[in-house]
Amino acid sequence: MASPAGKTTAEKLAVKNGITFYRINSDKFKTTRVDLFFVDRLQKERASGNALLPAMMKRGCKSFPSVKELELELERLYGADLDGGIIKKGEMQFIGFHMSHINDKYTFGNEKLFDECSKLLLCMLENPLVEEDGFKRSLFAQERDNLVNYIRSRVNDKMRFSFSRCIEEMCAGEPYAIPEDGTEEDALLLTPQNTYALYGEMMKTYPAYVYISGQVDDASVQRFIDAFPVSGRDGIKKVEPVCAQKEVIDVKRVDESMEISQGKLCMGFRTHVEPTSPDYFPLVVLNGILGGDPHSKLFQNVREKASLAYYAQSVIEKYKGLLVIMSGIEASNRNKAEEIILKQVEDIKKGSISQDEIKATLSSLETGMKSMQDSQGAIVDFFMSQHLTESGEDFESMIEKFKAVTIDEVVRVAQKVQLDTVYFLKPNGNNSGEGAK
């Protein structure tokens, strides 16, 4: 189905035993893609196991039991791609799989690539490589080691590491503190058997979303939906966004040291804005004014004018109601940087927002929303967000809601924002060079 007047839309096709199928209507792309997400609650004892499932399942399936055989098949299918991974949104963990290939009309003789590639995806889902009562042991050992090594490597990206540590401290005791890939401790407890048992739970009880995008005929789409494994899915979990309204009593301060040359200052705030609230739109605009772009207060006042930061930016976590400011600074500038950063937040609360600032922010948001439509993955992520919150927005209506935000609304929403945690990763004095940043 063509997208009406060039619009990018998502059409619900079917709901079968806790699996919801959508079709992304857009005529921009020369590739066809299927994105599949199983959703679980973010839990410490399950996070690492869930994270390992895509790695295990993309190693092959019953029809193609080795990486070489699988790669040869993908090559035969005009370089098709089959992959998977893990993400978290708020206190939900998404086990994702995707398949993509060129549109049928670009093949020799208009081959039905979608039918063949979707069969391959379903084979991976239904018939992973097993041995006795668990995943194939040799493959499992490799993938578990890869997961453990990846978890250990988080510390190498100091910007991301400091952000994660801020979240862990800020949300201690809350599921959101759990890393999306779990922990090394829990990954080492995984076995071929208990991970395969978790696979069974995923297939039988996790709610799922399927998005089909690109030019593919209706009959092929229907065959894919009809073939999708839905039997035995009886006790489907109820997994929904949870945005805890947690009042801040005392600001938590955490300092840690490491062999680095540049300090990392992260400041976590509670926004008290639910993802389904109309206040979400002023919150996004607030974030843009504060630290979303080069025109923002953080960039202009902390980095450019005061020359205190190598970078200074802010991000929001929609599903958890958080706003985090991140900056890279010289350790000796820590107090001054923190003072100027907090002043930018207070200025917004006081209504010190220029017309140029809000105009630049709204223009940037509109540009960002339009550029998202140039990526199939970004489109899927956008619509999944709308489906999780049942907002019903599309790209055009979202842009209009951002444009309608006033300075007064931004100031009102800013009054809700509370500083919760200040985390500082500082040099320990043993820095050995620039690579330790």
Which residues share a beta bridge with 16? 19
Helix (H, G, I), strand (E, B) or coil at 323: strand
Sequence ranges of the domains in the chain: 4-227, 252-436
**74 in Cβ contact with 82 (< 8 Å):** yes
**435 in Cβ contact with 265 (< 8 Å):** no
Q: What is the pLDDT of residue 248?
A: 84
Neighbouring CB atoms inside 10 A of 23's CB total 20
Is 252-436 the same fold as 4-227? yes
Residues 4-227: name the CATH superfamily: Metalloenzyme, LuxS/M16 peptidase-like (3.30.830.10)
- Residue 432 pLDDT greater than 70, yes or no: no
Largest CA distance in the chain: 68
Q: What angle do CA 373, 39, 230 make, to 5 degrees?
A: 100
- Residue 308 pLDDT greater than 80, yes or no: no
Per-residue burial over 119-158, b if 16 or more Cβ lie within 10 Å, else e, is ebbbbbbebbbbeeebbbeebbeebbeebbeebeeeeeeb
Residue, of 7 and 269, whose pLDDT is higher? 269
Q: What are the tens digits of pLDDT across the range 44-59?
A: 999 999 999 999 999 9
Q: What are the tens digits of pLDDT across the range 217-231?
A: 999 999 999 999 888
Residues 252-436: name the CATH superfamily: Metalloenzyme, LuxS/M16 peptidase-like (3.30.830.10)
- Grade residue 27 by pLDDT with cuts at 50, 70 and 90: confident
Q: What is the pLDDT of residue 433?
A: 43
Mean pLDDT of the chain: 91
- For residues 81-100, average pLDDT: 95
Which residues are CB-contacts of 212 (< 8 A; sequence separation ≥ 6)?
A: 13, 21, 22, 23, 24, 32, 33, 34, 221, 224
Q: What is the pLDDT of residue 435?
A: 40
**117 in Cβ contact with 99 (< 8 Å):** yes
Q: What is the pLDDT of residue 5?
A: 54
- For residues 362-377, average pLDDT: 94
Q: What are the tens digits of pLDDT across the range 160-173?
A: 999 999 999 999 99
Q: What is the pLDDT of residue 421?
A: 97
- Residue 338 pLDDT greater than 50, yes or no: yes
- Using alpha carbons, select from 258, 257, 261, 259 the residue that is nearest to residue 434: 261
Q: What is the pLDDT of residue 229?
A: 87
Which residues are CB-contacts of 419 (< 8 A; sequence separation ≥ 6)?
A: 248, 251, 267, 268, 269, 342, 345
- For residues 104-131, average pLDDT: 90
Which residue, chain included where needed, has tokens 């705030």?
269
pTM of the full predicted structure?
A: 0.92
- For residues 291-318, average pLDDT: 84
Region of residue 303 (phi > 0: left; psi between -120 and 50: alpha; otherwise: beta): alpha
Which residue, chain included where needed, has tokens 């439509």?
373
d(CA 387, CA 224): 21
- Grade residue 434 by pLDDT with cuts at 50, 70 and 90: very low
In the DSSP assignment, the letter for residue 321 is T
- Using alpha carbons, select from 163, 182, 317, 178 the residue that is nearest to residue 243: 317
Helix (H, G, I), strand (E, B) or coil at 58: coil
Q: What is the pLDDT of residue 307?
A: 77
Q: What is the pLDDT of residue 431?
A: 56
Q: What is the pLDDT of residue 436?
A: 42
- Residue 60 pLDDT greater than 50, yes or no: yes
d(CA 78, CA 105): 12
